């Protein structure tokens, strides 16, 4: 029978046995004077302290200057609109994406700065009874495809790898410009993703998944490479709120259509096509955004949004009862509060100080046209000396803190590293 | 920077395309984006004797001066990427594994110099939609704002029974080693079926395209004309409006010509002026005197036979045909199994057919496709079958597409007919009256079903292996940490007492 026995009982036995002998301490060592050994010890301690200090230094460094500059610093707007679903019965995902495409085009983002990724072709699908058109409303019958659509990634090209490469701009040589996200540190990007998803993942074409951590890493890389100023990340899938749970890069506002363990539902079906044509979350967004147009400062429908509305106003229009799910908003990473971010900062072009173009698509319902300049965005109140000081300080080269402002992590990491270095130097000495 | 023999003038030639061609050393380019199959038995010969195969089809003739194979490969990658960005198609999928350099086909489209190498790739499953028409239209000098292209309506074009959007760049040199010019031809070939819309055998331009012809002609166009082929019916059987048109003969067929002048347009409001044709009788579809049918036979997912039936309907006169096929690497065709048998039409006894030559490039797994070119003679009134046996390879788990159950499309199946001066019967009017001596027929695309693995197996294997490892590791860990000892039950306390090893091994002297 086997009984596990305490080691000390065995040790009792071992004292009688012959102990394997250690090599005798070398006489060469003994020849070193005690002062040399002490010097070596002091040197080790000093080295460890120095290393600890060097490693802990970045955590004391000031946050990068770009963080705290004025809110209207961005000069260009981009949109990345992704539909990840294939097959005719996922028509509504393509319709979601095309609805967003139409909206941002209408509100001013040029086609060159919109990256449209559609995993399947619905418009010219043999099953489509309305060739070359995609609708999102069974009554309205408005065609989303239009005459000038440009699909940058289509069909089998919509993969997780291509999406990640697009975000981080690690593209192979010869990738055409229309397929690259050529943003800089003054860009605002709208990233809209729709498809089938789950707890912390988004399914791409029934073959692979994009994880929440991958997405967070992509945004972190983008921040490191100074590829955006602000990002609005919108996702319309089941359990969408989990997809943005791991983002840690600053200046990201995230919106999801449903919480964990909740599904997002489609809105309605078109009886001629035989499929659902739009999802509830996107439909709610469109209902709010369709009343925004550039030519007029007031809404086309009473109680709707207008071009001066903020993201907080948009998110306030979501009704969990109508959506049959709980949409979530993540604004902790954003430097500006949601009330002071205009919708047009992400859905339209940054037109600070520029002439507002006429929006020819929408019928203006008011009797008179207001020709008013674009209202200035309210700046968040900050003490001026901080702003000036930080805007003048050059961005430090080297590892820069990406995460939220808690520095205890940095201390912990530095201490662990110092401990490790200490142990290793101790081991080499002894 | 390469010296190009081509003079660069971008007043009419689109700069976007021209710079791409210059950068990658392309002398000639054929890019067609097609949906549908040209139904020869219903529609006769295609216009210009050339119909495009379904999907995206790219042929590029690349100059080989100062470029070795590696540079050519890199430039091909650059070319396909640039074209995919330009035309919104997935042409970047055409890498070395699915492109071919056929030796016999397309000789008449050869560039100016024999030093050009042809690279041909096809994406049979690529969808064609508005996003491909838009950039094509932007290459035109007046874009789609003026001229005949303004009448192109995507909603109707993509509803057609067959549509093909073609961009063809060909090169002509005045003489050898002198300056050459590239010509760009942009074509849209579409087959509309007005019976589907109106159930009456009549059509008008407005009813076909759902757009009036009320834009002026392009100011940069040297000529802008509409040709309407007069049907081969007695005079009372149809009415063509406007009746005051010029009639010319092109290729032995009567063609009505309407000049689309800058300031005059065919006014749809006026019933007498709008372009329409009213037919009172149906006419028989024109027949072709050569038909091709391609299919897979022999059951199973392990091997099969690819067969092509070539039928020469002519009573007198043999035809020389060249069959070109590019099979993907996982369809391993065997040269020794190529068989060509001819049957007189209506008879079942086979006769040996004449094979003039076979050019075969075997495929290498995951590197290059199989290219097979066979030149045969099809005697008059004979049905000839060309067969080749193949074996299917097993694909790796990650090589399957997301819709793996659908299978893979196989090959291209091109039959090039050499006319040798004889025009096939009832070839319709060519826009370009210059007759070409070859007619190309694209055989049916076939699809092969590879055995699809169970994609959940890697997950199953990982789960199972980890479970086994956990059991094994757990057992081993506890075994290594615990030590086997002997014990005896003490008589007095009735509790186990460990017997020390020393006592076991060495008998203590009591």
10-residue stretch averages of pLDDT, chain A, 430 residues long: 44 45 49 64 79 62 43 82 96 96 92 94 92 89 87 95 96 93 93 96 93 96 95 96 95 95 93 93 92 74 78 93 94 92 87 46 44 45 42 47 62 86 83
Among B400, B431, B448, the domain-final residue is B448
- A356, A367, A375, B340 from A371: Cα distances, Å: 9, 13, 12, 78
Query: What domains does chain A contain, in order, with CATH numbers?
Result: 77-345 (3.40.50.1460)
Inform me whether the pLDDT recorded for B1 exceeds 50.
no
**Average confidence (pLDDT) over B251-271:** 62
B182 with B219, same domain: the answer is no
Chain A contact for B85 (CB, 8 A cutoff): yes
H helix or E strand, kind and range, residue B239 = strand B238-241
CB contacts of B33 in chain A (<8 Å) are none
B171 with B305, same domain: the answer is no
More confident residue, B442 or A374: B442
Chain A interface disruption, residue of B129, B162, B164, most A CBs within 10 A: B129
Write down the pLDDT at residue A253.
96
CB contacts of B155 in chain A (<8 Å) are 131-133
CB contacts of B403 in chain A (<8 Å) are 86-87, 206
Active site residue A238: yes
DSSP calls for A271-335: TTTTEEEEEHHHHHHHHHHTT--TT-SS-SSTT---TT-BHHHHHHT--HHHHTS--EEE-TT-S
**Average confidence (pLDDT) over B359-366:** 93
| For A126, nearest residue in chain B (alpha carbons) | B159
Domain annotation covers residue B439: yes
Domain annotation covers residue B498: no
pTM: 0.78
**Average pLDDT in chain B:** 83
Chain A contact for B36 (CB, 8 A cutoff): no
B394 with B319, same domain: the answer is yes
Q: Which pLDDT tens digit goes with each residue over B148-188?
A: 888 889 999 999 999 999 999 988 877 766 777 888 999 99
- The 10 Å CB-count burial string (b at 16+, else e) for A301-338 is eeebbbbbbbbebbbebbeeeebebebbbbbebbebeb
- In percent, the amount of chain B with pLDDT more than 70 equals 85
B217 with B360, same domain: the answer is no
B333 with B399, same domain: the answer is yes
Residues 6+ apart with CB under 8 A from B362: B333, B335, B370
CB contact under 8 A, B126 and A152: no
B187 with B317, same domain: the answer is no
| For B487, nearest residue in chain A (alpha carbons) | A1
Q: Whole-angstrom Cα distance, residue A83 to residue A90?
A: 10
Q: Which pLDDT tens digit goes with each residue over B457-509?
A: 888 999 999 999 999 999 999 888 887 778 888 888 888 888 776 655 655 55
Write down the pLDDT at residue B256.
76
3-state secondary structure of A381: coil
CB contact under 8 A, A5 and B487: no
Of B92, B154, B502, the CB nearest to A147: B154
**Average confidence (pLDDT) over B351-355:** 78
Chain B contact for A184 (CB, 8 A cutoff): no
DSSP calls for B406-430: G-EEE---EEEEE-TTPPPTT----
Chains A–B, number of C-beta pairs less than 8 Å apart? 106
Active site residue A196: yes
B303 with B247, same domain: the answer is no
Q: Which pLDDT tens digit goes with each residue over B377-392?
A: 999 889 999 999 999 9
Residues 6+ apart with CB under 8 A from B499: B485, B486, B487, B488
What count of other Cβ atoms lies within 10 Å of the Cβ of residue A6?
8
Chain A contact for B131 (CB, 8 A cutoff): yes
Domain annotation covers residue B509: no
Q: Which of A83, A93, A196, A267 is catalytic?
A: A196
Q: Whole-angstrom Cα distance, residue B154 to residue B210?
A: 10
Domain annotation covers residue B294: yes
- pLDDT band at residue B307 using 50, 70 and 90 as cut-offs: very high
DSSP calls for B325-386: EEE-TTEEE-GGG-EEEEEETT----EEPEEEEEEEE--BTTTB-EEEEEEEEE-TTEEEEE
This complex has an ipTM of: 0.85
Residues B188, B167: contact at Cβ < 8 Å? Answer: no
Write down the pLDDT at residue A404.
55
Q: Whole-angstrom Cα distance, residue A382 to residue A68?
A: 9
Give, as one character, the DSSP assignment of residue A214: H
Write down the pLDDT at residue A329.
95
Q: Whole-angstrom Cα distance, residue B290 to residue B426?
A: 12
Total domains in the fold of chain B: 3
Chain A contact for B508 (CB, 8 A cutoff): no
Min distance A282 CA to chain B CA atoms (Å) = 23
Pairing verdict, β B276-279 and B202-204: antiparallel
B151 with B211, same domain: the answer is no
**Average confidence (pLDDT) over B92-99:** 90
CB contact under 8 A, B93 and A147: no
Domain annotation covers residue B504: no
Residue B420 structural domain: 290-448
B184 with B84, same domain: the answer is yes
Among B193, B217, B235, the domain-final residue is B193
Q: Which two tokens stand for residue B119?
A: 């690279």
B141 with B51, same domain: the answer is yes
Write down the pLDDT at residue B482.
85
Min distance B304 CA to chain A CA atoms (Å) = 28
What count of other Cβ atoms lies within 10 Å of the Cβ of residue B502?
12
Between residues 150 and 169 of chain A, which touch chain B (CB distance below 8 Å)? 150-152, 154-157
Write down the pLDDT at residue A406.
60
Chain A contact for B395 (CB, 8 A cutoff): no
Inform me whether the pLDDT recorded for B430 exceeds 70.
no
Chain A contact for B403 (CB, 8 A cutoff): yes
Inform me whether the pLDDT recorded for B273 exceeds 70.
no
Write down the pLDDT at residue B485.
79
Chain A interface disruption, residue of B56, B402, B452, most A CBs within 10 A: B402
B138 with B230, same domain: the answer is no
B53 with B25, same domain: the answer is yes
- CATH number of the domain that B334 lies in? 2.60.40.740
CB contacts of A155 in chain B (<8 Å) are 90, 126-127
Residues 6+ apart with CB under 8 A from B110: B28, B61, B116, B118
Write down the pLDDT at residue B7.
63
Among B133, B163, B193, the domain-final residue is B193
3-state secondary structure of A343: coil
């Amino acid at each position: 029978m086997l009984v596990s026995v305490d080691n000390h009982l065995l040790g009792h036995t071992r004292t009688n046995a012959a102990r394997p002998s250690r090599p005798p301490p070398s006489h060469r060592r003994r020849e070193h004077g005690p002062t040399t050994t002490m010097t070596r010890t002091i040197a080790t301690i000093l080295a460890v302290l120095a290393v600890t200090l060097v490693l802990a230094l970045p955590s004391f460094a000031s946050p990068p200057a770009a963080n705290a500059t004025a809110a209207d610093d961005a000069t260009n707007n981009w949109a990345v609109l992704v539909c990840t679903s294939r097959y005719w019965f996922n028509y509504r995902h393509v319709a979601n994406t095309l609805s967003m495409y139409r909206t941002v085009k209408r509100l001013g983002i040029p086609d060159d700065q919109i990256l449209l990724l559609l995993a399947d072709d619905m418009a010219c699908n043999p099953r489509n009874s309305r060739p070359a058109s995609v609708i999102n409303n069974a009554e309205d019958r408005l065609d989303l495809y239009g005459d000038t659509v440009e699909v940058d990634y289509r069909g089998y090209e919509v993969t997780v790898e291509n999406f990640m490469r697009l975000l981080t701009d690690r593209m192979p040589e010869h990738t055409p410009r229309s397929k690259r996200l050529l943003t800089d540190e003054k860009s605002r990007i709208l990233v809209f993703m729709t498809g089938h998803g789950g707890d912390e993942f988004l399914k791409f074409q029934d073959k692979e998944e994009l994880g929440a951590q991958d997405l967070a890493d992509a945004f972190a890389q983008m921040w490191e490479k100074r590829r955006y100023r602000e990002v609005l990340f919108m996702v319309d899938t089941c359990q969408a709120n989990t997809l943005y749970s791991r983002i840690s890069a600053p200046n990201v506002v995230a919106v999801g259509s449903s919480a964990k363990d909740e599904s997002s539902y489609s809105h309605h079906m078109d009886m001629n096509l035989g499929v659902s044509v739009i999802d509830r979350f996107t439909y709610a967004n469109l209902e709010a955004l369709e009343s925004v147009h550039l030519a007029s400062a007031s809404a086309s429908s009473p109680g709707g949004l207008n071009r001066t509305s903020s993201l907080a106003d948009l998110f306030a229009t979501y009704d969990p009862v109508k959506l049959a799910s709980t949409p979530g908003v993540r604004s902790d990473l954003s430097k500006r509060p949601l009330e002071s971010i205009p919708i047009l900062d992400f859905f339209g072009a940054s037109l600070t100080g520029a002439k507002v173009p006429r929006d020819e698509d929408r019928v203006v319902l008011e009797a008179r046209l207001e020709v008013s300049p674009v209202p200035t965005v309210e700046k968040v109140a900050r003490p001026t000396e901080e702003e000036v000081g930080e805007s003048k300080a050059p961005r430090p080269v080297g590892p820069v803190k990406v995460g939220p402002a808690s520095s205890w992590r940095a201390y912990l990491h530095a201490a662990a590293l110092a401990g490790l270095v200490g142990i290793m130097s101790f081991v080499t000495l002894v | 920077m390469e010296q190009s023999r081509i003079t660069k003038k971008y007043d009419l030639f689109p700069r976007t395309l021209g710079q791409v061609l210059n950068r990658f050393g392309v002398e000639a380019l054929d890019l067609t984006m097609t949906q549908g199959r040209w139904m020869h038995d219903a529609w006769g010969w295609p216009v210009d004797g050339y119909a495009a195969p379904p999907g995206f089809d790219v042929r590029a003739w690349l100059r080989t001066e100062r470029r070795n194979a590696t540079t050519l490969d890199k430039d091909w990658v650059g070319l396909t990427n640039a074209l995919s960005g330009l035309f919104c198609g997935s042409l970047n999928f055409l890498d070395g594994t699915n492109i071919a350099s056929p030796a016999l086909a397309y000789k008449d489209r050869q560039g100016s110099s024999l030093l050009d190498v042809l690279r041909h790739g096809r994406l049979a499953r690529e969808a064609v939609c508005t996003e491909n028409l838009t950039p094509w239209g932007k290459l035109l000098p007046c874009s789609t704002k003026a001229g005949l292209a303004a009448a192109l309506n995507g909603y109707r074009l993509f509803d057609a029974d067959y549509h093909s959007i073609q961009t063809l760049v060909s090169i002509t040199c005045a003489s050898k080693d002198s300056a050459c010019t590239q010509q760009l031809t942009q074509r849209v070939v579409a087959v509309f079926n007005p019976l589907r819309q109106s159930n009456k055998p009549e059509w008008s331009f407005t009813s076909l395209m759902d757009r009036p012809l009320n834009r002026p002609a392009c100011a940069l166009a040297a000529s802008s004309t509409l040709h309407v082929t007069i049907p081969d019916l007695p005079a009372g059987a149809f009415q063509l409006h406007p009746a005051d048109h010029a009639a010319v003969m092109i290729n032995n067929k009567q063609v009505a010509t309407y000049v689309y002048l800058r300031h005059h347009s065919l006014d749809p409001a006026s019933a007498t002026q709008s372009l329409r044709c009213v037919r009172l009788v149906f006419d028989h579809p024109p027949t072709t005197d050569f038909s091709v049918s391609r299919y897979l036979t022999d059951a199973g997912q392990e091997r099969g036979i690819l067969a092509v039936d070539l039928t020469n309907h002519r009573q007198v006169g043999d035809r020389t045909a060249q069959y070109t096929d590019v099979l993907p690497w996982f369809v391993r065709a065997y040269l020794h199994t190529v068989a060509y048998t001819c049957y007189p039409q209506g008879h079942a006894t086979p006769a040996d057919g004449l094979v003039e030559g076979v050019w075969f490039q075997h495929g290498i797994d995951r590197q290059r496709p199989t290219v097979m070119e066979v030149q045969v003679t099809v005697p008059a009134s004979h049905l000839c079958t060309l067969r080749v046996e193949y074996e299917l390879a097993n694909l790796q788990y990650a090589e399957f597409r997301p819709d793996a159950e659908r299978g893979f499309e196989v090959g291209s199946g091109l039959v090039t007919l050499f006319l040798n001066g004889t025009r096939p019967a009832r070839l319709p009017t060519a826009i370009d009256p210059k007759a070409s001596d070859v007619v190309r027929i694209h055989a049916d695309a076939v699809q092969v079903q590879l055995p699809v693995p169970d994609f959940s197996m890697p997950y199953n294997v990982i789960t199972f292996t980890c479970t086994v490892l956990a059991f094994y590791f757990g057992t081993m860990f506890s075994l290594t940490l615990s030590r086997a000892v002997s014990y005896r039950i003490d008589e007095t306390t009735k509790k186990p007492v460990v017997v020390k090893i020393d006592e076991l091994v060495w008998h203590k002297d009591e």
